[in-house]
Structure 1
Amino acid sequence: MSRQLSRADQDEILARHGITSVESDELVIFDGEDFTIYKLIVKAPGPVIPANRKARRAAHAAKRKAQSA
């Protein structure tokens, strides 16, 4: 079972790859030390639409987790 990375751990991993900031229209998904950055597609005036199904699933899971907390 993988552990939840802290924000500091995430920042450190990104910094090792030369990434110092993530734009508001980007979604970063971590899988241990590996990560994928997705560019989100925005359509007006509706909500932000993830660029692919994996990102959509992750966004939905995060929303469910936030609602239960």
Structure 2
Amino acid sequence: MSGVRVHVDRDRCIGAGLCVMSAPTVFDQDDDSGLVVLLDETPADADAGHARKIAEHICPSKAVWVTGG
């Protein structure tokens, strides 16, 4: 999945934290707001697959999306 780029929209994020639980090397949550923080916008293959799954099936607010790959 080379060439994958992960994007987040903090305005859409509801702070559910499912992304962090599923891919903690790619996502974190802001301590103050609880909103998503992108740690790695170009993750390696395994993490890119997790990020794509989060974007397509897990994030309840659709605040995560993946391009490329």
TM-score interval, smaller chain:
under 0.3
TM-score (norm 1): 0.28
Q: Which protein is richer in helix relative to its size?
A: 1
TM-score (norm 2): 0.28
Q: Which has the higher contact order (CA 8 A, sep 6+)?
A: 2
